[in-house]
Amino acid sequence: MTFREVCLSGEYRVAVLGATGVVGQEMVKVLEERNFPVASLRLLATERSAGKELEFRGEAVKIEKAGSSSFRNIDIALFSAGSAASRKFAPLAVKAGAVVIDNSSAFRMDNQVPLVVPEVNSQEIAGHNGIIANPNCSTIQLVVVLKPLLDKAGLQRVIVSTYQSVSGTGKDAVRELQSQTGALLRHRKAHRNIYPHQIAFNIIPHIGDFEDSGYTMEEMKMVHETRKILDMPDLAITATTARVPVFIGHTESVYVETVSVIPLKKLILLLLKSPGIKLVDDTANNKYPLPIMTEIYDEVLVGRIRRDLSIETGLNMWIVANNLRKGAALNAVQIAELLPQDKADRPEEK
């Protein structure tokens, strides 16, 4: 069966690489929740996880060890196993005929690879050569909100400070926050293994390695990826990223200076009708985005919208999203959902 035939049949043979990770598990959940047309599901992981099972549509699916032949007869491969695994397996998967949607940073800045947030630049999907990159979690929720602003009023500069949850680091980090918190509440020592400092009841301004510039990799991802997704290579954007003792949900305090003034009421209306956004901005009733809300909402939550009282084109916003879902698994599946229309007529897939 060719990719084209599969596309026309409307059912995909899907593989998830890194299926036991926090994002991988979420990918399987999202495929089911969104009724993604899955003909078959292959779950791949390292040898350590092989033999375990995950449930999909009420059936147990056995996890297989990823290998060079794992992507035979796969149409769509969702990758979330880290950059090294992506570099190793993506070329094999593409060669086997699959389209790879990669959640790692391996190919994001590759000129040949589209970096896609469906609400922002879905048109880029058509140009792919077998790999489509899923942006960094903190970038995704930012650009979903920046895009309508850019289109309406232009972007002069962006200054972001983040409050990122530990699930962004993975399962072991979630356990570390749990165990440290429990220990400290019992007046015991908080042992650390994943983070360079205690994360319980603390804030760590260090996500990813430090570069010579003094910025972390995470901060520079936000800069480079935002520029690529918005197609603004010279956008003035700077970020400070910090890890906070929160399990799920990334928060961003975002300062935006637009080119032209956009009245606040117009901005609210604009965001209300923009895709993927849920406005939570009713301070009179103590309503504003909170990380714990992301257990319920898949949208990017925006609130605390207000004008910089000293600069007419300046705006402050508070942006929260589920880093495992919109920041990773959901965005990847949304890309997959856009594949058929774009891909069915492309002759090179077979």
Which positions are annotated as active-site residues?
Answer: 137, 250
Closest separation in Å from C-beta 115 to a copy of itself: 20
Q: Among the residues of the chain, which ranges form H helices?
A: 3-9, 22-33, 83-95, 118-121, 137-153, 171-185, 217-229, 264-273, 330-343
Please give the structure tokens belonging to residue 169: 């680091």
Nearest distance from C-beta of residue 251 to a copy of itself, angstroms:
5
Nearest to 301 by CA among 341, 251, 264: 251
> Could you tell me the sign of the dihedral formed by the alpha carbons of 77, 82, 84, 87, in that order?
positive
Considering only 58, 196, 233, 347, the residue that binds a copy of itself (CB under 8 A) is 196
- Selected from 81, 318, 322, 339, the binder of a copy of itself by CB under 8 A is 318
- For CA atoms 40, 44, 50, 56, the dihedral sign is negative
> Does residue 233 touch a copy of itself according to CB under 8 A?
no
Q: What is the C-alpha separation between 12 and 97, in angstroms, rounded?
A: 12
Among 72-80, 99-107, 122-130, 199-207, which window interacts with a copy of itself (CB under 8 A)? Answer: 199-207
Residue 70 vs 169, nearer CB to a copy of itself: 169
Please, what is the minimum distance in Å from the beta carbon of residue 220 to a copy of itself?
9
- Residue 76 is inside which H or E element, if any? strand 76-79
For residue 74, what is the DSSP state? -
Q: Which of 305, 321, 324, 339 binds a copy of itself (CB under 8 A)?
A: 305
Rank residues 44 and 223 by Cβ distance to a copy of itself and give the closer one.
Answer: 223
Binding positions for a copy of itself, rule: CB under 8 A: 157, 159, 161, 163, 177-178, 181-182, 185, 196-198, 201-206, 210, 213-215, 223, 234-238, 240, 242, 244-247, 251, 253, 255, 283-284, 286, 288-292, 303-311, 314, 316, 318
